[in-house]
Amino acid sequence: MFSAVSHSPDLPDRYVCERCHAVYAGTVVRDDDDTRHFEAPSECAACGSTAFVAFEQYVHADV
């Protein structure tokens, strides 16, 4: 999955489905200038919801 390119600490963000709380790794999106960032999945594979919250926000909001 991951190559040895390592000049940036780009661990994937994680996202939590707001409906069923399944956790997904962010999808890598490559921008025009070749930087990468992560986006939530477009749809939850488990329940079909399109509402996701960032994992860090989910943890902080729910504890």
Q: Is residue 20 involved in binding Zn ion (CB under 5 A)?
A: yes
In contact, 22 and 45? CB cutoff 8 Å = yes
Nearest of 23, 20, 39 to residue 31 by alpha carbon = 39
Rounded Cα distance, 33 and 26, in Å: 19
Could you say which residues in the range 25-44 bind Zn ion, by CB under 5 A?
44
Least distance to Zn ion, CB of residue 41, Å = 10
Q: Work out which of 11, 46, 51, 59 binds Zn ion, going by CB under 5 A.
A: 46
Q: Which residues bind Zn ion (CB under 5 A)?
A: 17, 19-20, 22, 44, 46-47, 49
